Amino acid sequence: MATIPAINRTQIAKRRSSRMALSAPVGLSGEDSQKCPFSMPAKATNLNRYGAAIHLPRQLSVGSTVTVRNTRGTQLTARVVAQLAVSQGVSAYGIEFIEPSDVSNGFWGINFPSLENKGVAAHVADQAGIARRRPGISRP
């Protein structure tokens, strides 16, 4: 498995919403890295208010835009912001919704916790997965 370099703690601290360790089936369409149009099922993981990680057996270009459809038929445009990993022919990409948050907020059908309710240290630990790996760290 080829892994793209990890996000640093400064980038983690800038996250605008908590990630949910959930997955959801989505439809994804756009142009791949070869400029060929596609429309196919994909899997979204690490859902958050502003985007997700998308897994599909196709190469995308960072900076390109795709259309994401949820199971209720709602569609949003998203920008591919990073390639996260490649394993066994499946690529994972970070995507960010382009629409304003009031439009994208209900896309996943989840009420995301507010970051204002967490301390910065707890937020960074949550996002980095530190608290899950080190049982001695408590979260508020």
pLDDT digit string, tens, across residues 50-98: 999 999 999 999 999 999 999 999 999 999 999 999 999 999 999 999 9
Can you tell me the mean pLDDT for 31-45?
A: 97
Q: Which fold has domain 2-133?
A: Thrombin, subunit H (2.40.10)
Confidence of residue 131 (pLDDT cuts 50, 70, 90): very low
- pLDDT for 40 beyond 50: yes
- pLDDT attached to residue 105: 81
Separation between Cα atoms, residue 4 and residue 83, nearest integer Å: 7
Strands (DSSP E) found in the chain: 2-3, 20-31, 37-48, 51-56, 65-69, 75-87, 90-97
SS3 56: strand
Residue 14 CB: number of other CB atoms within 10 A?
A: 9
- C-alpha angle 99-110-65 in degrees, rounded to nearest 5: 30
SS3 94: strand
Percent over 70 (pLDDT), the chain: 67
Q: Tell which residue, 13, 6, 48, has the closest CA to residue 123.
A: 13
pLDDT digits (tens, 9 = 90+) for 92-107: 999 999 987 777 888 9
- pLDDT attached to residue 20: 74
pTM of the predicted model, to two decimals?
A: 0.71
